[in-house]
Structure 1
Amino acid sequence: MKYDVNDESQVWLESWGIKPASLEKRKEIFDEWFLHVPALLPLTGSRYIVSDENLKWKPVISMGSSDIIVMGWDLRTYVLNELRNYLDIHIDVFDEEDQRFYPEVIDEVQQIFEENFKYDETKDIPYLKERILYWSCG
């Protein structure tokens, strides 16, 4: 993530204030911000559980540099999401336009996803939330 504050990157969060011209000052601001980021417990590859005792939810994120995606707001949803192609939880649905089959999760699992990803003001990841929104909103 720190690499993204270099001269070539356009990543600069609003909460960090005006972007300094000095790379050293940008790194200093990043380091101070990073001290407050919740602990990230590695699961596999680029997947991490956000560990913060003050959070109601324990989200699993995928993080590659500054690009962060919520894979599930709990471990169950993450596992279903990550392993959906290896579990017997989908059916093949034919798409007339493309003239091919696509896998769609069964209704029971789709309901779990919809409930888990539904907006809830308690779903928050302090400090990382702004980074998540930065990439998803352009």
Structure 2
Amino acid sequence: MQKSELKPNQNYLEYVKSFAAPTQHFKTCYRAFIVGGGICCFGQFLRFMFEYWAGLQGDELAGTVSIVLIFCGALLTGLGVYDRIGKNAGAGSIVPITGFANSVASPALEFKTEGYIYGLAAKMFVVAGPIIVFGVLSGSIVGIIYYFIG
């Protein structure tokens, strides 16, 4: 490839960069840390409360906390709050389990006008579907390997 072929692309990138606001990396990382940490602290608070009030332990406790966090993420997405949190927090709102709930609920809400089957149900797993499929597939493969090894 010659240098003359690269120049128009570089000119375009410089043109786009002239309109884009400079990224404030420290501020972005700080917000992601605070919001992600806040979500995790809320999850830990739920864990303490379910353990203390309901007497849950082990897998029941972990499952209950996960279900409540997923419900909260889906509810906040439905109310339009989670999108505003995501704009300010970035990866801090995506990484916890509430981000998974958001990735499932957002496409479902976006395509609900197309009907319950072709819109809501079909588009619900557009983002999260491949994660679920590959998670189940890789978990099955690892399980088969462990079955034959041990």
Does the TM-score normalized on the shorter chain lie above 0.5? no
Based on CA coordinates, which of the two structures has the bigger radius of gyration? 2
Structure that is richer in strand per residue:
1
**What's the TM-score, normalizing by structure 2?**
0.27
Higher helix share: 2
- Which TM-score applies when normalising by structure 1? 0.29
